Amino acid sequence: MFTGIITDIGEILELEQKGDLRARIGTAYDVGGIDIGASIACDGVCLTVIALGKSPRAWFDVEISAETVSKTNLGEWNPGRHVNLERALKVGDELGGHIVSGHVDGVAAVVSVKAEGDSTRVRFRAPQRLARFIAPKGSVALNGTSLTVNEVDDCEFGINFIPHTKTHTTWGRVAEGDFVNLEVDTMARYVARLREWD
């Protein structure tokens, strides 16, 4: 489980296709405090650490299945790309965002990016099957970041990114045409499922 509060911006150092896709991610985390088998959300995707190192900088390796690549934007990863990172939630940690599983539901497209004062207003288009789970003032996780929805218009929805978010995540680099990992709010999913039984 995660909270959607990004704690590091990692960098893709290496990619290797050997059956599954293997990625080496540079990090500011103290890898001495990370166990093999630990879960780290990488752009919102819960991945398992399979190797660790500190030379020439701290890094960890993950393996990504073809299924995960097909359902996320991880197929667009390349060396030098920056990704949002979050360590798994521990009992007693502050829940500053919302409950995020790291199980991406689909990919949303960036429709527009506009400056609004010091903030940036970004409009996204969600897949039709996921749009019903997105509500004004509700929560979504985009590339692993817990965000509040401003407005919804059919399959499109808007998010306002404040300067802090743009500085401490990869959202300062967002551009029209980007594809981002979307995880809808767990509670919205269960409410929709319960309605099916009415």
Average pLDDT over residues 2-15: 97
Average pLDDT over residues 141-148: 97
Closest CA to 182 of 116, 131, 120: 131
Least confident residue range of 27-36, 73-82, 96-105, 152-161: 96-105
45-97 pLDDT, tens per residue? Answer: 999 999 999 988 999 999 999 999 999 999 999 999 999 999 998 877 777 88
For all residues of the chain together, what is the average pLDDT? 94
CA angle, residues 107, 73, 194, in degrees to nearest 5: 35
Closest CA to 163 of 121, 118, 123: 118
The pLDDT assigned to 156 comes to 98
Domain segments of the chain: what residues? 8-87, 106-195
User: Which of 3.60.20.10, 3.90.1640.10, 2.40.30.20, 2.120.10.30 would CATH assign to domain 8-87?
Assistant: 2.40.30.20
For residue 34, CA distances in Å to 37, 104, 138, 169, 191 come to 9, 23, 32, 21, 36
pTM (two decimals): 0.93
The CATH number of domain 106-195 is 3.40.50.1100: no
Q: Where does residue 56 rank: exposed (0-12), middle (13-18), buried (19+ CB within 10 A)?
A: exposed
CA distance 89 to 94: 9
The pLDDT assigned to 34 comes to 97
The pLDDT assigned to 198 comes to 62
pLDDT surpassing 70 at residue 98: yes
Q: For residues 32 and 175, is the Cβ–Cβ distance under 8 A?
A: no
Q: Can you spell out the DSSP letters for 87-109?
A: EPP-TT----S--B-S---EEEE
